[in-house]
Structure 1
Amino acid sequence: MSTQAPPGPQPVVRQLPTQEARDLLELTRDLARREIAPAAAAEEDAGRFPREIFTLIGRAGLLGLPYDEEYGGGGQPYEVYLQVLEELAAARLTVGLGVSVHTLASHALAEFGSKQQRADHLPHMLGGEQLGAYCLSEPTAGSDAAALRTRAVREDENWVLTGTKAWITHGGVADFYTVLARSGGEGPRGITAYLVPGDAPGLSAAPPERKMGLKASPTAQVHLDGVTVSDARRIGDEGQGLTIALAALDCGRMGIAACATGVAQAALDAAIAYMGERRQFHRRLSDFQGLRFMLADMATRIEAGRALYLAAARLKDTGQPYSAQAAMAKLFCTDTAMQVTTDAVQLLGGYGYTADFPVERYMREAKVLQIVEGTNQIQRMVIARHLAGPEERD
C-alpha cells in the first residue's frame, strides 16, 4: 500500500513582467477564493446573476485592466490581463466571461473613440459601476456579421436605431451597449458603431435564453425600437463599424481562450483532488497508470493552450499582427476545455455526472466557449485565410 500523501493541484506557474502584475494576480486569486468560488455552484444552479461581484471586482480595478490609466483603466498589457481573466474563469465562468464581454464592449470606444468621447464615457465604463454588452449578432446574422439588418437612420444630429440583436451576453442587465447597425448600403462598408445607454427609451430585452450552462449569465435578444442616440455617441467614422467590430473580436478571442484555459484548469484540479482521495482495489485512483496518463495529457493540453494565448497577447502588446494567433488560441484552448472537462467527468465516474461535483458544470460550460466570439469553424477559416489567402469564388 502506498504511504505517500494524496496528490493535490499544483499552483499554476505564471509569467508576469512586474511586481505590480504579481500583486494584481494575488489580489485576483484572493477575491476568487473568498468572494467568487464559494457561491458559484449554488448561484449557477439558481440562475442568479452576480451583479455585486462585478461591482466588487470593478472597484478593485479588474474591469478595465488593458485600458489607459488616464481614463480609469489599469494600464496593464494583455499578457497580464488575460492571466487575471483565467483566474476569474477558473473560479466561476460567469464572472470571467462577463469581464471578457465587458472588455469587448469597451474596446470600440477605447480604441476608436475621440479623445472627448473617451474622457466623457470611459471613466464610468471602467470604474466598476457600469457593465457593458456587445451587440453584433442578429437572429439572421451570426457568423456572417456583414449581413446584419439593424438600421441606423440619420435625423439631424441624432441617429434612430431599429432592429433586433441576438445572443447578447448581459442583455437586459447591461448599463451600456456597443451596437453595430447598418447606416448605409448593403455589405461590410455600410455598418457603423454606436454607444447606446442601457436605459435608452425604446431599448428592451427579451427573456433570457434557456441554456445548457452558464445559467446565471443572461443571454438575451435586445430589441431596438426607434432608439435615438446623438451623433456624439457614434464611434469612429460612418461605415467603419465592421472594422471596429472585427478588431474587438480579435481581442475578445484571446479573452475566450483565457477563460477556456481557466475552466480546463479548474476541471483538472478537481480531478486530481478526487483521484488522490478515492480508492478502488486497495489503491488510489491516481496510482493507476492509465488514469495517470489521462491527467498528464490533460495538463499538457492546458499548458500548451496557455502558452498559445500568451504568445498572441505578447504580439498585441508589442504592436505586431496577432489576428491569426488570436484565432489559433481561441480554437485550441476551447477545444482543449471541452476535451479536458469531458475527461474529468470520466475520471470521476458516476460522481462526475452528478451536480455534487463541479466537473459536470465545467463540461456544460465548456461547450459554449467553442461557439462564442466566432465558432471554431470560423476560427479555422480565419487561420486558413492568413495561410492561403481569401477563398476564390466562382
Structure 2
Amino acid sequence: MDFELSPEHKELQLSARRLVEQRILPLIMSYEERSVFPQEIFREIGAQGFLKAHMPKECGGLGLGTLAYCLVSEELAKAGAGMTHNGHFQTEKMLLDYGTPEQQGKYLAKLLSGEYLAATAITEPTVGSSFANMPTRVEKRGDTFILNGVKTLINDAAEADVINVFAKSDEGISVFLVEKGMPGFQILKKQDPIGMRSSPIYEFELKDCAVKTEQLVGKFGEGLKAFFSAFNFSRLGNASAALGIAQASLKKTLHYIKQRQVGSRVVSEFQGIRWMLAEMSTQLEAARLLRNRAATLEDKKQDISLESSQTKLLCVEVANRIVGDCIQATGRYGCLRDSLFELYLRDAKLLGTAGGSLEVMKNNIAKRLIGD
C-alpha cells in the first residue's frame, strides 16, 4: 500500500480545506444554533466537485475512489460533522451498485452536482437497525408498492429531494426512492439534536404512499444487499468526520498552547501537555492509516464489513478522547462556545450513534472474528 496521497488527492484535499476555511467556518455557527440546513453551501460543495470525486468517470464522477470521499468528509467535518451529509453519499452508493440504468440516469447527475439532496431513512420510533422488527411495511399491488410507517431521526428529510426508504414485507427488506412532495409523505416534526445540527433531523410518516416499480432499488425483498454495500462504505465517512474533528481540535490546541503563558513559561513547555500532544498525535495517525487501508480495500471490491466497523470504532473513540483532552489542555478557553470545541465535542459524541452505534460496531467485529 502506498502511504503517499496522489497529486489529485492532495489537490482535492486542499480545495476542500480552502472551502471550509473561507466559506463555511465563518457561517457555521449561525446554521448550528438554528439547526438549519445550509442550502447555499451544499450547492457550492456540489459545484466544486466534492459530491462526485469518488464516483467512476463513466458515471460522471472524477474517478478518485473511496479515499477521495474520505478526504472530503474529513475536511468538511472541520466545520462540524453535520456538513458531511452521509445520507447523500449513501444514496449515491446504492444507485451506483444497485440502481437501474434508468434510475442512474434520472438521479445520479443531479446528486453528483448538488442540484439534488438525498437522505436515508431506516430508523423508526421503536426500532433502530433491527430489520427483523421493522414496523414500516410495503405491500405490492401490481406494479405499485404501498408504503406505511413512521421514520425518525432522519437527517435532511425535509430538505431532501429524494429519500431512500427501507421497508419490510413477507419477502424481506426492500429499498425505495421516495421523492419530495409525493402523496402520502408527511413531515411530522423537526427534532432537536445536541450535535450535527447543520444537518437537521426529522420524523416523517408514510401513509399509503404509492411508489412505482421504477423507484425500487435492487430486487424486491433484497434490500439488505444495498444496505450493507452503502453502510460499509459510509461508515468510512463517519470515521473520516471523526478524524476531521480530531485534527481540527488538535490544530487549535497547538496554536493556543504555543502562545498562552502561565507565569514565566509557555504552556507548550509543560511536560504533561507535551505527553498529551504526543498521545493525541499518535492515536490520530494510527486511526487515519486504518481508515486509508479500509478505503483501499473497498476500491479493490473486497468485503470491508470487518474493516469498516473497526475503522469507525477506532476513529470515533479517538475523536472523543482528543476533543476532551484538547479542552483540558486549553482550559477555560476550550470551554468557550466560539472556540468551536463545544461543536466538536457535541458532534464527536453523536458520531458514536450515527450509522450504527459503537456497540454495534463491536458486535460486528466480534461476529467476523468468531465466524458466527
Greater displacement, 256-265 / 163-172: 163-172
Q: 2:5 aligns with which of 16, 28, 41?
A: 16
How far the C-alpha of 1:271 sits from its partner, in A, is 1.0
Deviations 1:23-59 (A, max 9, x none): 2222212211211112223332233321111101111
Equivalent position SS for 1:206: strand
- Residue 215 of structure 1 aligns to a residue in which SS? coil
Give the superposition deviation at 1:22: 2.5
Q: Does residue 267 in structure 1 map to residue 267 in structure 2?
A: no
Code of the aligned partner of 1:296: A
Secondary structure of 2:138's counterpart equals strand
> What is the aligned partner in structure 1 of residue 49 from structure 2?
61
The alpha-carbon deviation at position 20 of structure 1 amounts to: 2.7
Q: Match of 2:28, as an amino acid? A: A
Alignment match, 1:89: 77
Q: 1:121 aligns with which of 94, 100, 107?
A: 107
Counterparts of 2:25 and 2:33, CA distance in 1 = 14
Residue number in structure 1 paired with 2:151: 165
> Which residue of structure 1 aligns with residue 222 of structure 2?
240
2:326 to 325, 334, 344: 344
Q: What does 1:22-61 correspond to in 2, within 5 Å?
A: 22-61=10-49
Deviation at 1:148, TM superposition (A): 1.0
8 Å Cα contact 1:105/1:133 also seen in 2: yes
Partner of 1:74: 62
* C-alpha distance after superposition, 1:235-257 (max 9, x if no partner): 11111012211221101111100
207, 213, 222: which is aligned to 2:195?
213
SS at match of 1:251: helix
* Secondary structure of residue in 2 paired with 1:15: coil
Which 10-residue stretch deviates more, 247-256 or 119-128? 119-128
Counterpart check, 1:102 vs 2:88: yes
Superposition deviation, residue 214 in structure 1: 2.1
Give 1:79 deviation, angstroms.
1.6
Residues 212-259 of structure 1, C-alpha deviation per residue, up to 9 Å, x if partnerless?
A: 122232111121111111111111111101221122110111110000
For residues 68 and 144 of structure 1, do their structure 2 counterparts lie closer, same or farther at Cα, with a shift above 3 Å needed?
same
Q: Report if the CA contact (8 A) 2:36-2:200 is conserved.
A: no
Which residue does 1:288 correspond to in 2? 270
1:119 positional shift: 1.8
TM-score, normalised with respect to structure 2: 0.95
Which AA in structure 2 matches 1:135? Answer: A
Residue type matched to 1:50 in 2? P
1:6 aligns with: none
Q: CA deviation at 1:379?
A: 0.4
Moved more, 190-199 or 19-28: 19-28
Where has structure 1 moved over 3 Å in runs of 4 or more?
none
2:177 is aligned to 195
Q: 1:199, CA displacement in angstroms? A: 1.9
Deviation (angstroms), 1:110: 1.5
Report the Cα distance in structure 1 between the residues aligned to 2:301 and 2:308, rounded to whole angstroms.
Answer: 14
Counterpart residue identity of residue 143, structure 1: S
Mark the runs of 5 or more structure 1 residues left unpaired by the alignment: 1-13
Query: In 2, Cα distance between the equivalents of 1:114 and 1:169?
Result: 25
TM-score for the superposition, normalised by structure 1: 0.90
Q: Distance in 2 between matches of 1:32 and 1:257?
A: 18
Whole-angstrom distance in 1 between the partners of 2:129 and 2:105: 33
Greater shift, 351-360 or 65-74, is seen at: 65-74
Q: How high is the sequence identity, in percent, across the aligned residues?
A: 33
Name the residue aligned to 1:334. Answer: 316
Q: Deviations over 1:295-317 (max 9, x none)?
A: 11111111111111111000111
**Cα displacement (A) at 1:356:** 3.0
Residues 190 and 201, structure 2, Cα contact 8 Å, conserved in 1: yes
In the alignment, the residues of structure 2 paired with residue 321 and residue 374 of structure 1 have an alpha-carbon distance, to the nearest angstrom, of 18
What's the counterpart of residue 163 of structure 2? 177
- What is the number of equivalent residue pairs in this alignment? 370
Offset, 1:211: 1.6
Match of 2:301 in 1: 319
> What is the CA-CA distance between 1:149 and the residue it aligns to?
1.5
Tell me the distance in 2 between the aligned counterparts of 1:173 and 1:366: 24
